[in-house]
Amino acid sequence: MKNYDAIVIGAGHNGLTNAAFLAKAGLDVLVLEKNDYIGGATVSRELQEGWKYSNCSYVCSLFRPEIYQALDLGRHGLEVVPLQGGVTFKQDGDYYGNYHQSALKYREIARHSKRDADAAVRFDADLMKWCRLIRGFLLRTPPDPTSFKIRDAMEFASLLKAFYELSESQIYEFIRFFTMSIAEYLEEYFESEVIKAHFSGGSIIGTGLGVYSPGTAYVLLHHAMGDVDGNVGSWGFARGGMGSVSGAIASSFKSHGGEIRSGAEVEQINVSGRKATGVTLANGEVINAKAVVSNLDAKRTFLKIMDKKDLPDELVTRAENFKIRGSSGKLNIALDGMPDFPALGENSPLTLGHMHFSDTLERLERAYDDWKDDRWSADPYVDIVIPTQYEPTMAPPGKHMMSVFVQYCPVEAEGGWTEEKKQAFGQTVINQIADYSPNFKDLLVHAEIRTPKEIEAEVGLTEGNIFQGELTLDQLMFNRPFPGYAQYRGPVKNMYMCSSSNHPGGGVMGAPGANAAREILMDFGKTDTTPEDFGDD
């Protein structure tokens, strides 16, 4: 029977990235995927004839350009088209237009508050400071601060060095930033309610936290630290939907001789003598490998596909307590035409970007309150994009595809999800959109409604948490997923983790996959094929 060098469990973008770097180094690699299609949460599926949805993740910014370049993803079919600006509609019929043209954006903020327009200069520069600091650590293995190994000490020293390169006041601010709520943070810059509401959205996406919860300021950074062609904080559409991301990585992987088997669910990571030896599939088939890499989230990896007897008790406890709360829903909508948003007037460029309807921090916090009570938000925060306005591949000519990310939606609606409740959740979102777009309902051709339940069932993300674990300080850097396990090596020899449950965390970044590949190749004594950070200074 064939003995692979490495088996990667889960053909999401991190699993594929990991596999591609291993294959590029000459390893014989097999990727196993439970679904009949690859991609995990980076998929494009045609659920309505003629329309393609980015069913889960829907925009791209965090994906590391270093990986893009190293895996030659452009030639393998990936194209990321920058998205432009955004808008928050107000209940009084006005709006805040976050224009992508800086002069226009300045004037628009000033329309709501002259002072805020000037304060935005300070806000942007401050956010960029933290972005710059954190970006330098995305493609690096977190050091173990308790280890005396030379590599850990050196990596920790470089972490401290980056920290101490900040000025005295920046150090204070940095620590505050990482522990503050986004609402409190924005209060230090802005006075206009709609400006605060607009800029706070990115800090609650995907989290089980509200705008007033400590730690949400960092989540904003997590959404702002990516870039499209050097424009830090910008987002883009993958041409052909997010499936193009996983498709391109898979193509690159295959070009290096890699093998993918879909419809092959792993039931167990086989361990013998405290060493991983391979996997057993749901159909009973055993496949052996010198290394087993899990791209599943930490909870699923340790509690579902590993035998607890093979694991240290402490790790099992950590896995059980791992915070991975599902809080997001999604509607993917096929439209017969472009919906009107009368508040914007005709031909406004603002529909080209992210659209939101939450115009106060209070409404955002109330939306969170519902979630805490196991209800979907009656007045949810949505992040809407309509890529088909300039992306021709996802809907028939003249028709449109709308992606509606919804915060918050509980893992278990009170008393458990039913089809009826799911439809009611979808209707809540549709009604909210229709409040601002009178012809929206008439244009509706098809809607895919996804609660955390669907995300968990299809993609395999525990509780449907899109980040594979909350992005809170206790679960970041050398504490991600757990203290002592942040260097992508599992509790048994030859077992590794490459998913977003690991540093630097969730989002379509590819970094955990690449970082894990670096560690595996080091253990195998192979040439490192993973890219170095482009560097900043």
| Closer Cβ to another protein, 92 or 419, answer by number | 92
Q: Binding segment for another protein among 4-12, 95-103, 395-403, 407-415 (CB under 8 A)?
A: 95-103
| CA distance linking residue 53 with residue 82, whole number of Å | 18
Q: Binding segment for another protein among 4-12, 32-40, 345-353, 496-504 (CB under 8 A)?
A: 345-353
Query: Given candidates 36, 92, 373, 420, which one binds another protein under the rule CB under 8 A?
Result: 92
94 binds another protein (CB under 8 A): yes
Angle (CA) 300 303 305, round 5°: 70
Query: Given candidates 81, 166, 434, 477, which one binds another protein under the rule CB under 8 A?
Result: 166
Where do we find the tokens 């299809």?
458
115 binds another protein (CB under 8 A): yes
336, 399 contact by CB (below 8 A): yes
The residues, ordered by sequence, that sit 6+ positions from 292 with a Cβ below 8 Å of its Cβ are 6, 7, 9, 269, 276, 277, 278, 279, 494, 495, 496
What residues does 402 pair with on adjacent strands? 333
Q: How many residues bind another protein (CB under 8 A)?
A: 36
Q: What end-to-end distance do the CA atoms of the chain give, in Å?
A: 50
Query: Given candidates 36, 49, 103, 419, which one binds another protein under the rule CB under 8 A?
Result: 103
CB burial string 101-135: b at 16+ within 10 A, e below: eeeebeebbeebbeebbebbeebeebbebbbebbb
- Residue 5 is given by DSSP the state E
| CA distance linking residue 132 with residue 232, whole number of Å | 9
111 binds another protein (CB under 8 A): yes
Q: Binding segment for another protein among 76-84, 123-131, 199-207, 293-301 (CB under 8 A)?
A: 123-131
193 binds another protein (CB under 8 A): no
| Closer Cβ to another protein, 38 or 131, answer by number | 131
| Closer Cβ to another protein, 94 or 336, answer by number | 94
494, 276 contact by CB (below 8 A): yes
- Residue 42 is given by DSSP the state S
Query: Given candidates 35, 77, 106, 439, which one binds another protein under the rule CB under 8 A?
Result: 106
Least distance (Å) between residue 385 CB and another protein: 19
Range 15-34, binding another protein (CB under 8 A): none
389 binds another protein (CB under 8 A): no
165 binds another protein (CB under 8 A): yes
**Cα 123 to chain centroid, rounded:** 23
Integer angstrom CA distances of residue 359 from 92, 197, 201, 233, 453: 10, 5, 10, 21, 28
Angle (CA) 530 536 537, round 5°: 125
The tokens for 21 are 């770097």
Q: Which of 35, 38, 28 has the alpha carbon at shortest distance from 7?
A: 28
158 binds another protein (CB under 8 A): no
515, 502 contact by CB (below 8 A): yes
Where do we find the tokens 């088996």?
7
| CA distance linking residue 460 with residue 35, whole number of Å | 10
Least distance (Å) between residue 348 CB and another protein: 6
| Closer Cβ to another protein, 4 or 357, answer by number | 357
The tokens for 67 are 């990986």
Q: Binding segment for another protein among 99-107, 272-280, 422-430, 466-474 (CB under 8 A)?
A: 99-107
| Closer Cβ to another protein, 92 or 373, answer by number | 92
Least distance (Å) between residue 194 CB and another protein: 12
Query: Given candidates 48, 79, 128, 275, which one binds another protein under the rule CB under 8 A?
Result: 128
| Closer Cβ to another protein, 171 or 378, answer by number | 171
169 binds another protein (CB under 8 A): yes
| Closer Cβ to another protein, 116 or 310, answer by number | 116
119 binds another protein (CB under 8 A): yes
Query: Given candidates 345, 398, 415, 535, which one binds another protein under the rule CB under 8 A?
Result: 345
Q: Which of 264, 266, 262 has the alpha carbon at shortest distance from 254?
A: 262
108 binds another protein (CB under 8 A): yes
150 binds another protein (CB under 8 A): no
| CA distance linking residue 14 with residue 502, whole number of Å | 10
350 binds another protein (CB under 8 A): yes
List contacts with another protein (CB under 8 A): 92-95, 97, 99, 101, 103-104, 106-108, 111, 114-119, 121-122, 125, 128-129, 132, 165-170, 345, 348-350, 537
